Chains A and B, each alone.
Chain A
Amino acid sequence: MAEVRAEMVANVWKVVVAEGDHVDDGDTLVILESMKMEIPVLAEGAGVVTKMHVAEGDVIQEGDLIASIG
């Protein structure tokens, strides 16, 4: 089980994958927006998205859980 966490305070602009989706290493999971910059958050390994912890429009803090990949 891999946990993907936020590297910085940001706004969740787009949620690209849904629970149950299969993802490969390097796939974009969500796109964050911080300080007028779009920052894609990528999967760091293949697996199935077991849980999405964020929704579009959420403001997340550094270290917050974004997705669980099993």
Chain B
Amino acid sequence: MLDSVLVANRGEIARRVIRTARRTGVKAVAVYSDADADLPYVREADQAVHIGPSPNPQPARSYLDAAAIIDAARQTGVAAVHPGYGFLAENADFARQVIAAGLTWVGPDPGAIEQMGDKIRARNLMERAGVPVSPGSREPVCDVAAAVAEADRIGYPVMVKAAAGGGGIGMGVAAEEAGLRSAFETARSRAERFFGSPEILIERFVERARHVEVQILGLADGRVLALGERDCSVQRRHQKVAEETPSPGVSAGLRERMLAAAVRAGQAVAYRGAGTVECLVDTDAGTFVFLEMNTRLQVEHPVTELVTGVDLVEQQFLIAAGEPPSFDPAALRPSGHALELRIYAEDPVRFLPRPGTITEWAEPAGDGVRVDAGYQAGNTVTPFYDPLLAKLCVHGADRKQALDRARDAVAAFRIAGPKTNLPFHADLLASPEFSTGDYDTSLVSKLRPA
């Protein structure tokens, strides 16, 4: 097992990784910017290194500063680096720098990150590996004229997105040419600004789809396991708000086909560690297409942990050290139902950012309730990072019990200071669509018409 790890991240995910490190006897080192000095993860680590100089706590000067992070690792003498999600987690150059510094990278081979990071290459690779993909670009779309021609070939409606992108940034749907022209310009300017590459991908937009992903684990011996799916169809601005497993929209037969395809996807890039194969499911037709693969721990990994009893961060540590997993893959039997509700610092109607100082923070507790939080009372939520405050996760013997526990937990969660989307979650859990499980990615816009 690794003896020490630096967590190159912040907030709830840094705290989550540190928790497993401490439980398994791995020394945990945190890094932090000026803005985050008071957050719980900094205090809970065995050691913490300040990497974001005053006066500017913007990410480029701290959690995106590869040299500062590697210096912190050297200075503290750690054996490994865990990137969390976001920031440098899917940056192949950073992974290479970590490895070149003689440290263990807790993640897949940089080559696999690179192959999957370019969404166009990834689509082409998946198609060759026998994983279904939707009609779409096989090469980057470089200008508006090419976009129009490509959309005509593919057929409207289409989704326009950055080939190097993620997090829903710059993504847009177009139903006809005028909409496509505007979506293309938006996507390209966001792609250049946020991802440093103007390459655009166009693919057929699947209406009435569910967003369902499969958790995979590439073991040190080369086997690739699929640990079940997560339904992530509750989204605003193409970003996830709530997730659950198992998916209420996936039949046993479809699940079997999706899990098998996810294993093939992992095998195609000789995947090691925890990864996620995202798909769109057409529930009416009972079919699915590959969307993208995330080559890191996913935000919503706790729902898989709750139903399988497997600590995914522990498996990441073991795999990085070349060791077998802590569980017997043949005996894996997911049980019950789990939900995750993302608690964001945003207004619960228009979903606009509402940072601020937290004056009250009281987490719910009880059977089946797990809260992965990045903050506590007295902390200031700044505008510099994403709005995720905490993940409220619940586990029940079945979906009904999980929903009941989630409703109670939402009502009991008290946060004052920044506005939060807790009232939205209460509405979501009360809605007939979510209660019955009969929903798709359009659910949030139905609950909150513009």
Contact = CB atoms under 8 A, between A and B. Distances in A.
Interface stretch (A2-10, A16-24, A44-52): A2-10
Given A8-B353, A10-B353, A34-B355, 20 more contacts: A8-B352, A8-B383, A9-B356, A10-B383, A11-B383, A33-B383, A35-B345, A35-B353, A35-B383, A35-B386, A35-B387, A36-B167, A36-B387, A37-B237, A37-B352, A37-B353, A39-B352, A39-B353, A59-B383, A62-B356
Contacts of A34: 353, 355, 383
A34 B58 CA distance: 11
Interface of B: 58, 167, 169, 237, 345-346, 352-356, 382-387
B419 to A, nearest CB: 9
A5 to B, nearest CB: 15
25 contacts: A7-B352, A8-B352, A8-B354, A8-B355, A8-B383, A9-B382, A11-B58, A34-B353, A34-B355, A34-B383, A35-B345, A35-B346, A35-B355, A35-B383, A35-B385, A36-B167, A36-B169, A36-B387, A37-B237, A37-B352, A37-B353, A39-B352, A39-B353, A59-B383, A62-B356
B443 to A, nearest CB: 21
Contacts of B353: 8, 10, 34-35, 37, 39
Nearest to B380: A9
Nearest to B386: A36
Contacts of B383: 8-11, 33-35, 59
In the complex, which of the residues B237, B346, B383 has the most CB atoms of chain A within 10 Å of its own CB atom? B383
Contacts of B352: 7-8, 37, 39
A30 B356 CA distance: 21
A7 B386 CA distance: 18
A7 B169 CA distance: 22
Nearest to B382: A9
A62 B169 CA distance: 24
Nearest to A10: B383
A43 B38 CA distance: 38
B355 A11 contact: no
Contacts of A8: 352-355, 383
Contacts of B382: 9
B275 to A, nearest CB: 23
Nearest to A37: B353
A35 B356 CA distance: 12
B167 A9 contact: no
A35 to B, nearest CB: 4
A7 B347 CA distance: 11
A37 to B, nearest CB: 6
Given A35-B345, A36-B167, A9 B385 contact: no
A43 B292 CA distance: 39
Contacts of B355: 8-9, 34-35
A42 to B, nearest CB: 13
Contact of A11 (B346, B354, B384, B387): B384
A12 to B, nearest CB: 11
A35 B354 CA distance: 9
Contacts of A62: 356
A9 B354 CA distance: 7
Contacts of B387: 35-36
A13 B237 CA distance: 20
B367 to A, nearest CB: 33
B353 to A, nearest CB: 4
A62 B322 CA distance: 50
Contacts of B346: 35
A36 to B, nearest CB: 5
Contacts of B169: 36
A7 B58 CA distance: 21
A21 to B, nearest CB: 22
A14 to B, nearest CB: 10
A30 to B, nearest CB: 14
Report, nearest first, the 6 A-B pairs whose CB atoms are least far apart: A34-B383, A35-B353, A34-B353, A35-B387, A9-B355, A9-B383
A6 B346 CA distance: 15
A47 to B, nearest CB: 25
Interface centre among A7, A33, A35, A37 (most CB of B within 10 A): A35
Contacts of A33: 383
Contacts of A7: 352
Nearest to B419: A8
Determine which residue in B58, B346, B353, B384 has the highest number of CB atoms from chain A within 10 A of its CB, and name it: B353
